[in-house]
Structure 1
Amino acid sequence: MTAPCLIFLWGPPRSLSTAFLRMMLERGDFLVVHEPFSSIVVQGYFVFEDEPVADASELLKLFREYALHRPIFVKETTEYRYDVIDDPDLVSSGAHSFITRHPRSVIASHYAMNENVTCPEIGFEHQYEIFRMVWDHDGRIPVVVEAEQLMADSCGAVRRYCEQVGIPFISSALSWEPGDRAEWGRTSEWHREVAESRGFRSSARMHLVGVDNKSVLRAFYEHHLPFYEWMCSSCHSTSEEGEQK
């Protein structure tokens, strides 16, 4: 299998996507890009190769051009429905993969960071839209990594991911030195735990407010749970079929 030159990882906020990005940084074989499209939404631009870019489709074009010379890994959260989702070149631009985590954990963690979070910003509905677009375009179910598997068996989960997207597995990238990274400077307060970590781990934080004791969060949960379940059930069905073969 030819290794892809441009890999996207789409995930709801608080799904361990930044920890996964930290692992990709540790590999050293990709230019790693942190949340470019959300930067355009929040601050009006994203700086790529020292140039501010304000248009998502123009940024996608730059990624494609750059990837002709060096592999790129783009990690993006799905709290917004980005303009680039409507760009016909998006799904064919590279390999699209997804990271997810049970909505119960995502919602509690997101609320702890932002008590003004809205239902769309939880992110599973937007993620599923991209997932279906990629599936319909490629004719096969996209690669999905589950945060719970990363925490339980990081070596196995990352190895499977690498095999599925077609890149070498590098075991040494599963651990790293703690510290902030310039790549996530705009949102560094959201990444304290990753900055303090040495590898994939479960959160030590206990969230006192969640879907069981706050009605608005329960409504968010009931809205987003089907999208999470549809995506996971599709991937689990494919895995079971492969094992039977």
Structure 2
Amino acid sequence: MSKHICLWSGPRNISTALMYSFAQRSDCKVVDEPLYAYYLKHHPEARQYHPGADDVLNNMEKDGNKVIEEMFNNKTSPMYFYKHMTHHLLDLDRSFMKKTINIILTRDPNEMLPSFAKVIPNPTINDVGYRLHVELLNYFKLKNISFVVLDSKSVLLNPHEALRSLCQKIDIPFEESMLSWKPQKREEDGVWARYWYDNVHKSSGFMPYKAKEEAFPERLQSLLEESQRHYETLLQYAL
């Protein structure tokens, strides 16, 4: 039986690098944000400011329930890694998560928010995922669904140890191949890659952690305060 790993991330959280990492495994296929078109179809406001929205809608399945069904129809590989954005879930029935391995990926909002705002200048709390991550965590606890919280900084500080610990936690063997890849695009990249993936395409592995040096944008201060509260909750469960 194939294992189905769902990464529940916010944007600019090294989620693409983690997808590239799992793509190096000998036993795994990766899928890039399969619920993106469903999200854009049902969130017309977001459609106005997400770059490449029309391409996403024209090239992907827009029925969220069909996407979930297709996930579990994938059985030709021993393992599947689905990179998801948590906000793409919207009102979908989440009971399918009882059958998936669930990883919540987060990042310090002091570092994430300025990065995201370079592409989407005026993000909301729903765009950046922190509140939705805590809601998802509480759902897992309520339904007794196992989950892992992974902080991006821990991966960048020590990729070998972080990935080894993650693999152990989700009961899969660690492979050294997960630590590096060729600096190039992947065929699994979503059609939005040209707007978001430039740094990953130039990379050959996880970039060493480097603290942000520029001043935090004043216009994002209230969003930071709200995001920080949720981030601190997530850190209580992090590996």
Q: TM-score normalised to the size of structure 1?
A: 0.82
Q: Deviation digits for residues 156-190 of structure 1, max 9, x if unmatched?
A: 00000000011110012201110112322422121
Tell whether the 8 Å contact from 2:35 to 2:62 is kept in structure 1 after alignment.
no
Query: Which one has more relative contact order, counting CA pairs under 8 Å at least 6 apart?
Result: 2
Q: Look up the match of 1:14.
A: 12
Q: Look up the match of 2:64.
A: 56
One-letter code aligned to 2:183: P
Q: Look up the match of 1:161.
A: 166
Q: How does 1:1-245 map to 2 (within 5 A)?
A: 5-42=3-40, 43=53, 52-67=60-75, 70-84=78-92, 87-138=93-144, 142-188=147-193, 189-202=195-208, 208=214, 210=216, 213-214=217-218, 216-235=219-238
What is the number of residues matched between the two proteins? 224
Whole-angstrom distance in 2 between the partners of 1:179 and 1:109: 22
How far off its partner does 1:88 sit? 4.4
Tell whether the 8 Å contact from 1:32 to 1:74 is kept in structure 2 after alignment.
yes
Q: Deviation digits for residues 98-138 of structure 1, max 9, x if unmatched?
A: 11110111101101222132332111111221122122222
Whole-angstrom distance in 2 between the partners of 1:15 and 1:198: 17
Q: Secondary structure at the match of 1:83?
A: coil
Whole-angstrom distance in 2 between the partners of 1:81 and 1:132: 15
104 and 82 in structure 1: CA distance in 2 versus 1, 3 angstrom threshold: same
How far off its partner does 1:76 sit? 0.9
Q: CA-atom RMSD, angstroms?
A: 2.5
One-letter code aligned to 1:168: P
137 and 129 in structure 1: CA distance in 2 versus 1, 3 angstrom threshold: same
Q: Secondary structure at the match of 1:224?
A: helix
185 and 235 in structure 1: CA distance in 2 versus 1, 3 angstrom threshold: closer
Whole-angstrom distance in 1 between the partners of 2:101 and 2:197: 25
Tell whether the 8 Å contact from 1:80 to 1:126 is kept in structure 2 after alignment.
no
Q: Secondary structure at the match of 2:191?
A: helix
One-letter code aligned to 2:141: W
Whole-angstrom distance in 1 between the partners of 2:101 and 2:107: 20
Tell whether the 8 Å contact from 1:64 to 1:93 is kept in structure 2 after alignment.
no
Q: Look up the match of 1:241.
A: none
Whole-angstrom distance in 1 between the partners of 2:58 and 2:103: 22
Tell whether the 8 Å contact from 1:122 to 1:220 is kept in structure 2 after alignment.
no
How far off its partner does 1:231 sit? 1.4
